[in-house]
Amino acid sequence: MAELYDTRRYLTNFDVQRTGNLFTDVLIIGSGVAGLRAAIEASRYGSVLLVTKDRIEQSNTAWAQGGIATVTAPDDTFDSHIEDTLTVGCGLCDRAAVDRMVREGPERIRELIDWGGLFDRRGEELLLGLEGGHSAPRIIHAMGDATGREVAETLIRVVRNKENVRVFEDCFAIDLIDLDGRCCGVATYHRHFRHQIFWARQTILATGGCGQLYRESTNPEVATGDGHAIAYRAGVPMRDMEMIQFHPTTLYIAGASRALISEAVRGEGAYLVDRQGRRFMPEYDPQAELAPRDVVSRAILSEMAKQNATCMYLDVRHLNSEKFRKRFPTISRLCEEFDIDISSQTIPVRPAAHYMVGGAQVDLEARSGMPGLFVCGEAASSGVHGANRLASNSLLEGLVFGAVAGAIAGQVAQQGGQPRFPKQLQSRLQPSGRTMLDLADVRNSLRSLMWRNVGIERYGPRLAETSEIIGFWGHYVMDKVFDDHEGWETQNMLTVARLMTVAATRREESRGVHFRTDFPHANTKLDGQHLVLQRQPDGLEIRLQV
């Protein structure tokens, strides 16, 4: 299977002489918080083209509930936020990256407010929530539990008003184009304009996460790991791909899609209980319901196994129901839709895939290992999360490093000449003679397989089984040339699933979100050691790196 995954550079056929070609100073792929913030910053230096495979509003950002962690209270400190982040990261954070994110956070929030972002206040003071892993209340939020939507709408409004920012919606980024190892743009497919190549002096990848690889996920349908896959195919080093965070509490209604129940609910005092109403988190961690997410997720999973139950429950009955509805209007409406009376009934919950910690390895300026390519947000491994993301640090990371990527990419593009445009460049793939599999069935089966074997708990033999099954599917899917989103997304999902499985197999310890039942403890020899996967001409290279 190595030939299919590791030596096939492009997924599609193209010829620059027969394909539409567009030029820009800075190209941005993705319309979440990181991509939007990068576009705003880059627009100060030249022309910007922002490409997104769905509508600009569709992203993980818009679905985020909890808030943004940032130091605003007089009795809070940068050092405290930094230490909380490092503690939850379990020895794999980059202190310099964490320091930058935390210290630049307040300025990014002030910008959002200046641009019209409305955060919840009491009088003139921002309301601050407390979430798991934080030593102080520092989570700002908007409309109670719709922070992501407010952030997205604010940034989209600013982007739409930038004359030198052009937005291409419904435009699928298939593969990065490289010349002599340098990123020069991307091959795309638009439903109206068909295949096009966008050439850029600098490219920023901000495509978000890959929650759709799992049967249980809080992510929207667009989160299929496309950025991770196209970066890998381009030869970009991919770091910590075994690290994906599972949110402990999503609403569990059999037959319905999973919906996030924000960690802020527990921050406001909700308890986790079993069917009998027994509170169990104090048995697992001194911080109880406010323990880090990996601890809470495994505790819920353990209780479900002990009791042969399909879910556990959030208990908010002891809280003031009117205040709860005001603080969490989205969650309250969701419960009402399923006839759950929060004043008298508990809320059924179980964990779900939530946030991809691993991604393309980048430095403090969001530069990847590929010249001309920056990566930010959930598609990047910036070092700020380590082995586990501290609650509400994700929107903060996107704002900070999106601005960093946009500024530096814009400055570099401003100094350079015209984007390189080769007169001869094409991709010609041979038609496959193998049987075509049902892609919908492959995707559904893959999601179940990943949830079962590469989920909250992993075990060596099951990881080996997963690699074998993914390899089988890849044999019949990765050799095909598709001309639609479903085909490319399925190929990307198989690629990312394989990388995650390989990394989870190689890390023979338990650390943060990565838990191996056959290696249940952290290995001190691996403190600070990252697994890096990189596509090479002769196959997949795996190495440990400090």
pLDDT given at position 418: 61
- Which residue, 503, 520, 518, is CA-closest to 467? 503
Question: What burial letters (b/e) apply to 472-499, b meaning 16+ CB within 10 Å?
Answer: ebbeebbbbebeebebbbbbbbbbbbbb
What Å distances lie between residue 309 and 254, 257, 305, 306, CA to CA?
13, 19, 7, 8
As a whole number of Å, the end-to-end CA separation of the chain is 29
- 164 Cβ neighbours under 8 A, 6+ residues apart: 43, 46, 47, 48
State how far the Cα of 33 lies from the Cα of 396, in Å rounded to an integer. Answer: 9
The pTM score is 0.94
Residue type, 388: N
**For 315, what's the count of Cα atoms within 13 Å in the CB-facing half-sphere?**
14
- 186 Cβ neighbours under 8 A, 6+ residues apart: 27, 29, 51, 173, 174, 175, 176, 177, 197, 198, 200, 203, 230
* Beta-bridge partners for 140: 68
Residue type, 152: A
Q: How many CB atoms lie within 10 A of CB 241?
A: 29
Write out the chain's pLDDT in tens, 546 residues.
445 667 678 999 888 888 889 999 999 999 999 999 999 999 999 999 999 999 999 888 887 877 999 999 999 999 999 999 999 999 999 999 999 999 999 999 999 999 999 999 999 999 999 988 899 999 999 988 889 999 999 999 999 999 999 999 999 999 999 988 999 999 999 988 889 999 999 999 999 999 999 999 999 999 999 999 999 999 999 999 999 999 999 999 887 777 889 888 998 999 999 999 999 999 999 999 999 888 999 999 999 999 999 999 999 999 999 999 999 998 999 999 999 999 999 999 999 999 999 999 999 999 999 999 999 999 999 999 999 999 999 999 999 999 999 999 999 999 976 666 776 787 888 877 788 889 999 999 999 999 999 999 999 999 999 999 999 999 999 999 998 999 999 999 999 999 999 999 999 999 999 999 999 999 999 999 999 999 998 889 999 999
- 41 Cβ neighbours under 8 A, 6+ residues apart: 402, 403, 405, 406, 407, 410
State how far the Cα of 167 lies from the Cα of 151, in Å rounded to an integer. Answer: 18
Question: What burial letters (b/e) apply to 42-72, b meaning 16+ CB within 10 Å?
Answer: bbebbbbbbbbbbebebbbbbbbbbbbbbbb
User: What domains lie within the chain, and their CATH numbers?
Assistant: 2-9+433-545 (1.20.58.100), 248-351 (3.90.700.10)
DSSP for 57-113, please give it.
Answer: T-SHHHH--S-EE---STT--HHHHHHHHHHHTTT---HHHHHHHHHHHHHHHHHHH
pLDDT given at position 7: 64
- 422 Cβ neighbours under 8 A, 6+ residues apart: 16, 179
Q: How many CB atoms lie within 10 A of CB 536?
A: 10
Please report where in the chains the tokens 């792929």 appear, as a residue. 29
pLDDT given at position 14: 86
DSSP for 239-256, please give it.
Answer: E-TT-EEEEEEEE--TTS
Residue type, 288: A
pLDDT given at position 255: 78
What Å distances lie between residue 264 and 9, 260, 271, 443, CA to CA?
43, 11, 12, 32
DSSP for 393-439, please give it.
Answer: -HHHHHHHHHHHHHHHHHHHHHHS-SPP--SS-EE--PPP-SPPP-H
Helix (H, G, I), strand (E, B) or coil at 379: helix
Please report where in the chains the tokens 């997304």 appear, as a residue. 489
Helix (H, G, I), strand (E, B) or coil at 326: helix
Give the active site residues: 293
Structural element, H or E, at residue 449: helix 439-453
**For 35, what's the count of Cα atoms within 13 Å in the CB-facing half-sphere?**
33
Can you read off the two tokens belonging to residue 178? 């490289």
**Across 157-280, where does the E strand assignment appear?**
165-168, 171-179, 182-190, 194-205, 238-239, 244-251, 259-260, 271-273
